[in-house]
Amino acid sequence: MSGFLDKNKQRFLDELFDLLRIPSVSADPAFKDDVLKTAEFLKEKLIAAGAENVELCPTDGYPILYGDKIIDPALPTVLVYGHYDVQPPDPLDLWDSGPFEPVIKKTDIHPEGAIFARGACDDKGQVYMHFKAFEGMLAEDRLPCNVKFMIEGEEEVGSENLAPFLSANKEKLACDVILVSDTSVIANDCPSITVGLRGLSYVEVEVTGPNRDLHSGVFGGAVANPINILAKMIASLQDENNRITIPGFYDDVAVVSAEERKMMNDAPFNLKTYENDLEIGSVHGEEGFTTIERTSIRPTLDCNGIWGGYIGEGAKTVLPSKAYAKISMRLVPNQSSDKITELFKKHFESLAPDSVKVEVKPHHGGEAAVTPTDTPEYKAAHMAMEKSYGKAPIPARGGGSIPIVALFEEVLGVKTVLMGFGLDSDDIHSPNEHYGVFNYFKGIETIPYFFEYYAELKK
């Protein structure tokens, strides 16, 4: 493979650039044609790479790209999952170059250069590594087992149409393991395999004061301002130890063993570098837990957006009728997304004084997942990374969410291995998202080893 990779590096970059130029923003209907174009683009590339039965499967939302290569039904089957949709690029003015005009630039962390574009790391770059690794394995006649691809276009908006697709296509998707590259490694000289993801409960809240906007001089002082009230309500959701105050919130939180906590905290991490990189005076979080723990094994509550009243140029004196916020809670194993949403709703409504009305609207959610390390797939990923990085990877829990991982297990009864190649500093979901050229090629190099070792271990 390394021969094939070496000979094709420029083409692999060029093709990824073409993919990154299509703005597949799933959250915004204005990009609908581009999201569909991206699905078509990948369909053609999957066919060109040598996959069979390639089709865009319609859903109530964006289509799911399917393709496979069954070399022998008696051999194990790996299903590769990823997503072709991306987050909205805004705020646009904070990008140093166009979000859909990929360029390679060197950075301190990526001295060999990184590809700057929305989706470069999350997840187009990582999906495309799989296409090219597959192409290489076929070209060199060394595909050791069966492969299926399932690439969706709604991951960034909650994968709502994926669950019904899984239930309706169990046969088609039957496999021995699911392989996902949509997470990160600790550092390029410290490979790791993600063994946990957090769940998510996401809500929007609306606080209504008076029935219309009012003059803040004529009425101010006598009528509740929904923005002031909302700010107080949100602030009260965490106590002085930064613990969440919703009754019952922590009831089901899985306790992590002292042994696992020690292992997590032994992984390379420098608090000063972390603070300096983010230009913060100090980190902030739940008392009694380290930064690594706070971002992986502990649940959180964050306001993602808050608005209301006048936000235009200059000053307008107004006591607004409404205020809004979007609030997310990251969940950990054993917490149920639906239950937490219910607890939030009940508590938030109870916080509202008589002077306002409160409405809580649930958005998408998902369950946390932990992936075992005593399986052939984990071992295969371990061996593959050890071979390509020249260093054994360590298990590490991630703080993000990929709700489909828990669903895969529930609906298909199949385990997932999370072998991602990004870095947490790659600015996914943020302006100037990038993906190391080193990481892209390292993924293409590592994936065939995974297939090789997995097929061997399953014998």
* Residues in contact with ligand BES by the rule CB under 6 A: 122-123, 155-156, 158, 182-184, 197, 200, 364, 366, 398, 400-403
Number of residues that bind Mn ion (CB under 5 A): 3
- Binding site partner of 191, from ligand BES, Mn ion, none, Cβ cut-off 5-8 A by kind: none
Least separation in angstroms between CB 163 and ligand BES: 12
Binding to Mn ion by CB under 5 A, coded x per residue (else -) over 107-126, reads: ---------------xx---
DSSP for 368-420? -EE--SSSHHHHHHHHHHHHHHSS--EEEE-SS--THHHHIIIII---EEE--
Q: Which helix (H) or strand (E) holds 197?
A: strand 192-197
Least separation in angstroms between CB 364 and ligand BES: 6
Which is closer to ligand BES, CB of 356 or CB of 423? 423
Q: Which residues lie closer than 8 Å to 274 by C-beta, 6 or more apart?
A: 283, 291
Which is closer to ligand BES, CB of 341 or CB of 401? 401
User: Across the strands, what pairs with 86?
Assistant: 25
Least separation in angstroms between CB 174 and ligand BES: 25
Q: Does residue 426 bind Mn ion (CB under 5 A)?
A: no
Of 155, 182, 426, 433, which one is the catalytic site residue?
155
Which is closer to ligand BES, CB of 68 or CB of 122? 122
Least separation in angstroms between CB 201 and ligand BES: 10
Which is closer to ligand BES, CB of 183 or CB of 416? 183
Are 360 and 348 in contact by the 8 Å Cβ rule? The answer is yes
Which is closer to Mn ion, CB of 69 or CB of 434? 434
- Binding site partner of 200, from ligand BES, Mn ion, none, Cβ cut-off 5-8 A by kind: ligand BES
In the residue annotation, 123 being an active-site residue is answered as: no
- Binding site partner of 25, from Mn ion, ligand BES, none, Cβ cut-off 5-8 A by kind: none
Are 337 and 331 in contact by the 8 Å Cβ rule? The answer is yes
In the residue annotation, 155 being an active-site residue is answered as: yes
Q: What distance in Å separates the CA atoms of residue 203 and residue 186, rounded to the nearest whole number?
A: 31
Least separation in angstroms between CB 427 and ligand BES: 11
Pure H helices in 238-336: 258-266, 271-278, 291-294
Distances (CA, A) of 327 to 253, 282, 365: 20, 23, 12
Residue numbers 153-212 binding Mn ion by CB under 5 A: 182
Q: What distance in Å separates the CA atoms of residue 185 and residue 18, rounded to the nearest whole number?
A: 26
Residues 251-254: contacts with CB within 8 Å, 24+ apart?
A: 252/334, 252/335, 252/336, 252/339, 253/298, 253/299, 253/332, 253/334, 253/335, 254/297, 254/332, 254/333, 254/334
Are 159 and 152 in contact by the 8 Å Cβ rule? The answer is yes
Are 155 and 85 in contact by the 8 Å Cβ rule? The answer is yes
Of 34, 68, 85, 377, which one is the catalytic site residue?
85
Which is closer to ligand BES, CB of 34 or CB of 123? 123
Catalytic site positions: 85, 155
User: Which positions lie near Mn ion, rule CB under 5 A?
Assistant: 122-123, 182
